[in-house]
Amino acid sequence: MIDIAHVITKREMEVLTLVAYEYTTQEIAKHLYLSKHTIDTHKKNLKLKLDVRNTAGMVRKGFESGLLPTRVRVEFSIDRS
């Protein structure tokens, strides 16, 4: 069995963490200084690597596999206005 943590990139982990905190694609793109298209690509790759069908499955698998701790602390803020 492949250790998922060794397959997921640092950037994908950042995206997964922000998705778990309910940040939108646009908000993630703004924070990481990337395009929305790039964030969508990271999400698509995460779904493939985690073998899930949607974002909810991606977050569930993140918690179940230990990629996401049960308590995640985000150390930045994004102006959501």
Residue with tokens 């179940």: 64
Statement: residue 61 has pLDDT above 90:
yes
Q: What is the pLDDT of residue 1?
A: 46
**Whole-prediction pTM:** 0.82
For 4-64, CATH number out of 3.30.470.20, 1.10.10.10, 1.10.3720.10, 3.30.360.10 equals 1.10.10.10
How far apart CA 2 and CA 34 sit, in angstroms, is 29
Q: What is the CA radius of gyration of the chain?
A: 12
Q: Where are the domains of the chain?
A: 4-64
28-59 pLDDT, tens per residue? Answer: 999 999 999 999 999 999 999 999 999 999 99
Q: What is the pLDDT of residue 18?
A: 95
